[in-house]
Structure 1
Amino acid sequence: MTWYLVLSVVTQAVSLLLWKESINNLPLLHVFTVLEFCLLFAWYAVQSKSFLPRIWLFGMPVLFLLFALLDAFVLESLHSFNIYTRSLEAFIFIGCSVHWFIRSITLESKVVTGEQQALNYMNAGFFIYFSGSLILFAFSNYINHLGRSLLMNIWTLHSLLLIVLYLFILTGFWKTNRK
């Protein structure tokens, strides 16, 4: 989870620098999406132990990378928003979150440890973020044709979803350290 947060901070910093220099930062988003997918998929796999057969643990990130390359160079442009890849990623992690909640409700003991509670907070953050973002990603082609002020208001929702995600991750870390 720490690596995910480091990746997010570095990506945001580089993105801001590119934006200030009037350089298209969307190719960075394409790279970030693949790295984010790999880190979060590995996190879910480690947390869920029997999450998927071993072949999927390595195959899924490779398939996702291939789809991201197809999206960036065939379906869309590397210099445009990666709608299909971000939507697929959101859909997959919504499924991972639901799987986590079902597993934690049905298979775990009735006593919730601090670590389980922390992981539940983090998972809830990802569920909220990816559920809200899926709508934004899936409809971004339509959203991008709206007026600039309305467009800024809509994408502010994405920023709010990120804040909620980071607050849930922070709460998870806080619950982990409280023993």
Structure 2
Amino acid sequence: MRAQITWFDVVSRGNNPQMKFGDVQVMRRDGSVLRGPVKGVRREGRENIIEVIWVAEKKTPQSEWVRQTPDPIVITFFEGQPFLDGNTIEATIPELGELKLFRKGEASYLDPSVVTGLQGNEVRQYRAWLYDIPLDSNWERIVNRVVHDLGAGGLASEYEQMQVQDEAAAFKGQTTSAAS
């Protein structure tokens, strides 16, 4: 059921730990798509700002996902009416296109392995974000979370565990280690 909400509601939901956002997706008017994991939602003056860990663009349905500048996607408060459709927030933003904010854990995520140009620290932050540990966590902590905490309980597939271990090996030398 689609319900009209306000941008105040959107920001409020984004700051609620039980209603965290997953990916944001923008279907632009030219047919291209932007997508990335939501780091946070906040309000500054009359603008709502959706901060992303990284954002990728797909220019056509046949093209590849390519990393874009990680600047936050800015949505002006008075532009577009947001609607709540289940746990997804949708809005038509005149200068951007069709925006969707997916609730974390309830939508597919854009796999970082299919995004050209992502840096090791962006992949690491994405994995930490996905598994609900601090974004500055090092690869060892992320692997432990996925393999031991989630893998033992059957919450992470064997494929997912291997993928995270491969990412850790590939990017270990490119990132600074944070406190584990």
**Greater share of residues in strand:** 2
**Greater share of residues in helix:** 1
In the superposition, the TM-score normalised over structure 2's length comes to: 0.29
